[in-house]
A and B are shown apart, each in its own frame.
Chain A
């Protein structure tokens, strides 16, 4: 949920933080351009391949709420996928939040909230966890294992793998948690490079891609990307839908390949090794750490302020207040304040509704100061 324009003069004025109308417009666009056409295509592929094609989804609680309210047909099509047994849902934090940095308690509550929401909407129980932006560490592993998850997915980066390959199942350090690792090269080939004419592999065709997968050694290849890749990041004109439509057929040409759900992989394979991740990793940009959200002074300050409100907000017992405080934990708010690329004018792929990271921070801080006043701390 994006924050609406909130100036210093709005503080204390009981103005809404989130611009419902604007958010609905964005949602409508993405439903029209991506969710609906891609869901329909996936359902077609599942039936055309008699259930050989399989996918996992990670859908935040915030989005589920919005879809239920405004686009129940999207929920229905996800329901249909689930009924085919060819789709599985990951669990994450309800608010796509940085709550793992607030407190273990807050993080656990949000994970439980999400699990309950999925149960309520789809009547299924997710077994595999993926954290916001694939953020992971030994500590997070402990918490999610405690919460009853058997497996999690994170970034298959060199930072944690070293010489090892992401294309095997691993296990977490000290706790009974299995780890799936995203193959970022093959994932980004589609998500980022698909329509890049300067890429030497351009254009990427389904047969070529299937061939790459077929010739990649390993037990499992986890291809994981933003759903918006289909129809939004990559427009229909790029041929992205044709690519997806042709992919199952091309994969089927290689006998040793098959699609699988995350929980099937976890059930079938044995972990090859143990991975210890003392520092946070994520799937963000080249640094693969938390620096996209928490690096500069503005990001740290805004987050510290947000964090410091935990006790006050919870003590208030006001549902609306707690909900708003949690919506403010969503990682995107901090991403918009990132100056890593902006400051030096580098070309980057990231999206920002604000003109500058500075404006993102100003708006956020004004909202946070209003929230502070509402909990009587301002």
Chain B
């Protein structure tokens, strides 16, 4: 049998990445290739060279179109693009956000329609218009993986109707929809009306070798509670701060470190001042080297409002940090040795942070048992194998 040819569409790939998708695609496609699949990956132009032996990356650069490039990420709110407040990302195509998305998709269709493939695989809404068009042009089955929906990204507040319409169109057109958790599957059934028989769950994985606790000089004796994530409503950092306030009322010598940036940063800093804990909270901004923060942390918290999966707790555990995670997350379905809370229950979150700081046997036991769990956790090989089954079933 000839190797399966996969035409894959996405919007980031290492070293260009802003969220978890890049990490996912890297690990996933590498293993997929080992299973004998040939992958051609079309992504927006990044200006970065990407040469890998396990995947052919085509950047929708439009060299014949003035050499313009894009740095699309779905986390930029359209208001930022159109309103000119371009802190996070900058528009390089020169148009508005949706126009850029449309441009990328048009180019992806141009490029993709010339590619011979057995199956088309799209990741998230930004690539869906192209996926739908290519399915019709090439007459090949379409697989759509949802890593997050508009509901997740906006924490269920003010989802953008235009984006949701694109998501729904892609989900309906897809032959099979893959979600990264049952939590996310439910979201698609309940909020988008997608029949559950069409949705397959393929959980994320981790490459534990990539994350290791390192020796980092720590100049203070205070215990450190860590948050890592984009500062958007979705990630629930405000609940982290509210819990911090409660913890500090009982144990003053604790510091709360927040790694990440986003449109909520200003509001969150203001909140820490209003709560009177600004001297104990440290906003360090975005830093690609997260391992050094894991390495000095005593507790890691992921208080997400709506998290399709959530890879950061696995990274923290690989670095020997016990984690508290929101029950409103996909990872809570597969991770056993951790503490779980409802994101809004800041009282319970504080209770658990204090327990981890005060009760050493709990800290030790969780760290030990979680470490064992992480080393035996799902790998990208499992993800690739499960997706391969799905490809084979639709071809």
Contacts and interface: CB of A to CB of B under 8 A. Distances in A.
A7 B353 CA distance: 11
Nearest to A300: B361
Contacts of B246: 9
Contact of B337 (A7, A297, A343): A343
A45 interface: no
A339 B365 contact: yes
B365 A362 contact: no
Nearest to B247: A8
A118 B358 CA distance: 42
Contacts of A7: 347-348, 351
Contacts of A301: 359-361
Contact of A339 (B340, B350, B351, B369): B369
Contacts of B337: 343, 356, 358
B364 interface: yes
Contacts of B366: 358
B362 interface: yes
A357 B354 CA distance: 17
A296 interface: yes
Given A358-B339, A359-B339, A343 B369 contact: yes
A345 B336 contact: yes
Interface in B6-26: none
29 contacts: A7-B347, A8-B354, A8-B355, A9-B246, A9-B250, A9-B347, A296-B361, A297-B364, A298-B359, A301-B359, A302-B361, A343-B337, A343-B372, A344-B372, A355-B340, A356-B336, A358-B339, A358-B365, A359-B339, A361-B359, A361-B361, A361-B362, A362-B339, A362-B351, A362-B352, A362-B359, A362-B362, A365-B355, A366-B351
Nearest to B351: A7
B382 interface: no
B171 to A, nearest CB: 31
B80 interface: no
A26 interface: no
Contacts of A202: none
Given A9-B246, A9-B351, 19 more contacts: A8-B350, A8-B358, A296-B365, A298-B359, A298-B361, A301-B361, A302-B361, A339-B369, A343-B337, A345-B336, A356-B338, A356-B339, A356-B340, A358-B339, A358-B365, A359-B339, A362-B359, A362-B362, A366-B355
Contacts of A298: 359, 361-362, 365
Contacts of B355: 8, 362, 365-366
A347 to B, nearest CB: 13
B373 A344 contact: yes
A100 B365 CA distance: 26
Interface of A: 7-9, 296-298, 300-302, 339, 342-345, 355-356, 358-359, 361-362, 365-366
A209 B300 CA distance: 54
Contacts of B372: 343-344
Report the 6 A-B pairs with minimum CB-CB distance, sorted nearest first. Answer: A297-B361, A301-B361, A7-B351, A362-B355, A343-B369, A8-B354
Contacts of B365: 296-298, 339, 358, 361
Interface string B302-320: 0000000000000000000
A361 B339 CA distance: 12
A8 to B, nearest CB: 5
Contacts of A296: 361, 365
Interface in B245-267: 246, 250
A7 B373 CA distance: 27
Nearest to B337: A343
Contacts, number: 66
Nearest to B336: A345
A365 B352 CA distance: 12
A49 B365 CA distance: 54
Interface in B357-382: 358-362, 364-366, 369, 372-373
A298 B355 CA distance: 12
Contacts of B340: 355-356
Contacts of A343: 336-337, 369, 372-373
B339 A8 contact: no
A341 to B, nearest CB: 11
Interface in B240-286: 246, 250
Nearest to B376: A344
Contacts of B358: 8
A355 B361 CA distance: 18
A366 B352 CA distance: 11
A344 to B, nearest CB: 7
Contacts of A8: 250, 350-351, 354-355, 358
A7 B360 CA distance: 17
A243 to B, nearest CB: 36
Contact of B359 (A339, A345, A365): A365
Contacts of B362: 298, 358, 361-362, 365
Contacts of A359: 339
Interface in B322-341: 336-340
B297 to A, nearest CB: 18
A302 B365 CA distance: 13
A366 B340 CA distance: 18
A362 B356 CA distance: 9
Nearest to A343: B369
A148 to B, nearest CB: 39
Contacts of A361: 359, 361-362, 365
Contacts of A297: 361, 364-365
